[in-house]
Structure 1
Amino acid sequence: MKKVLIALCIVSAFSYSKAVAQENVSFGPIVGVNFARLTGNQLYSDWKTGVSAGIFINYSGESRFGVNGQLLYSKIGGESPNGASKGHLDYLQIPIMGTYYLNGRGNAFRPKLMLGPYIGFLLKATNEASVSINPEGGNRPYKGVDAGAAMGAGFNYSIGRKVWLNADLRYNLGLAQVMNTISDVHNRSWGINVGLSFPLGKYSPSAGILR
């Protein structure tokens, strides 16, 4: 399953690189809050709060379809049911999502639906006492790579000439095992994200405004 998801990421990235060469491309910073847990891990099976931050790039064609790619530092993990302990998993996540806008270009408010694969690279794993639970060498409880599907809904809103507010509510469904020591443990997380996009492309004569 992990190999399939990685292949999907590569194909999506190739398609996206072709889109970037065209007009109607924008980019910007993004920040968010995550609510995450680990399924199959009784110690960290409850939801915990974390943050995410990074950059994103959008492509929007003449139709209602587009592509969104992101590079995020994301803090997820989980909390024990009694609240006594938290597991902090810090990932570099790369979601690449197809986007469908519910109305056409030229509108200042554009609701959207998003779906696509993501891949995550584990940067750090600690417990509540900030003690490493993924030491270098020896037995590593957590795998270095996670992968899954990202899906969500949101909107883009024009707040000025060529500047857009991007907001979405997203669910990340981890499909790869994330632990070496326990089987069938997967990441699950909800995220609320907000960003600002600035143009790299051109104005479309037909739409009158970017994207």
Structure 2
Amino acid sequence: MKNRIITSVFTFFILWASQLSAQDLKIGAKGGLNVASFGGDFGDVGPRAGFHLGLYCNREQTDRVNLQAELLYSLQGVKIEDEDIRANLSYINIPLLAQVKLPEIVEGLSAHGGLQFGFLLSANQKGTFRGNSVDRDIKDDFKGLDASFVIGAGYEMDSGLNFGLRYNAGLNDINNQTDEDADAKVNNQVFQIWVAYQLWSN
């Protein structure tokens, strides 16, 4: 079901963009670094490094505004403080964004914002605790759907190479635990640095 939802949303956006205008439609690949953590009441956790990788579709709406959808695999989670343990959460994320060009500041510069919908693929806890190896499936401890507010900035070069920064702030509680931590409010917080390259345009 999740795979059908993901495919349907991205396919709809591409078809919508193609029908509205045959001009300035761009498709490319992107990837980069995640610095992820949890907000809320999860306890003594710190950021962990991860990555994201996927595709984007960008269409010019007006001279100043573009619309962009992305389909990304994203490795997120946290590091447990004072222990060599990491919680690894793998998502398929679909950001739906408005991109505003800022040529009056720097040609090629833009700011973007919007919403992101994430679908949890897997979650596990790995590392070492008091000398013992830890490898535990924790997917049931987290809700399958994540929604985030997205804000960021990017710079596009004439060559089709572009790069930027982004912050994803989780909007919903993803805690699905039923033990003593059931009342803790938890949301994803991810800072991203990315590089993208335009593969096709019309």
Query: TM-score with structure 2 length normalisation?
Result: 0.81
1:133 correspondence with 2:129: no
Aligned residue for 2:31?
A: 31
Unaligned runs of 5+ in 1: 1-9, 135-139, 202-211
* Residues 85-126 of structure 1: CA deviation (Å, up to 9, x unaligned): 11000000000110001028xx9x410000000000000101
Aligned residue for 2:188?
A: 187
When residues 17 and 149 of structure 1 are mapped into structure 2, their CA distance, relative to the original with a 3 A threshold, is: farther
**Shift of residue 62 of structure 1?**
4.3
Aligned residue for 1:65?
A: 65
Q: Is the CA contact (8 Å cut-off) linking 2:68 and 2:98 kept in structure 1?
A: yes
C-alpha separation in 2, matches of 1:16 and 1:99: 16
Aligned residue for 2:129?
A: none
Aligned residue for 2:4?
A: none
Instruction: Report the 3-state secondary structure (helix = DSSP H, G, I; strand = E; otherwise coil) of the residue aligned with 2:46.
Output: coil
Percent identity over the alignment is 26
Residue identity matched to 2:122: K
Say which of 107, 116, 121 aligns to 1:123. Answer: 121
Q: Is the CA contact (8 Å cut-off) linking 1:16 and 1:67 kept in structure 2?
A: no
Aligned residue for 2:54?
A: 54
When residues 16 and 102 of structure 1 are mapped into structure 2, their CA distance, relative to the original with a 3 A threshold, is: farther
C-alpha separation in 1, matches of 2:86 and 2:78: 6
Q: Is the CA contact (8 Å cut-off) linking 1:147 and 1:174 kept in structure 2?
A: yes
Unaligned runs of 5+ in 2: 1-8, 127-133
C-alpha separation in 1, matches of 2:163 and 2:36: 19
Q: Is the CA contact (8 Å cut-off) linking 1:28 and 1:197 kept in structure 2?
A: yes
Instruction: Report the 3-state secondary structure (helix = DSSP H, G, I; strand = E; otherwise coil) of the residue aligned with 1:158.
Output: coil
Q: Is the CA contact (8 Å cut-off) linking 1:24 and 1:199 kept in structure 2?
A: no
C-alpha separation in 1, matches of 2:123 and 2:13: 33
Please give the root-mean-square deviation of Cα atoms over the aligned residues, in Å: 2.2
Q: How does 1:60-209 map to 2 (within 5 A)?
A: 60-103=60-103, 109-128=107-126, 129-134=134-139, 140-159=140-159, 164-181=160-177, 182=182, 183-201=184-202
When residues 65 and 169 of structure 1 are mapped into structure 2, their CA distance, relative to the original with a 3 A threshold, is: same
Number of residue pairs the alignment of both structures matches: 178
Instruction: Report the 3-state secondary structure (helix = DSSP H, G, I; strand = E; otherwise coil) of the residue aligned with 1:19.
Output: helix
C-alpha separation in 2, matches of 1:96 and 1:60: 14
C-alpha separation in 1, matches of 2:91 and 2:100: 27
Q: Is the CA contact (8 Å cut-off) linking 2:120 and 2:143 kept in structure 1?
A: yes
Residue identity matched to 2:91: Y
Residue identity matched to 2:74: S
Bigger fraction of residues in strand: 2
C-alpha separation in 2, matches of 1:57 and 1:83: 41
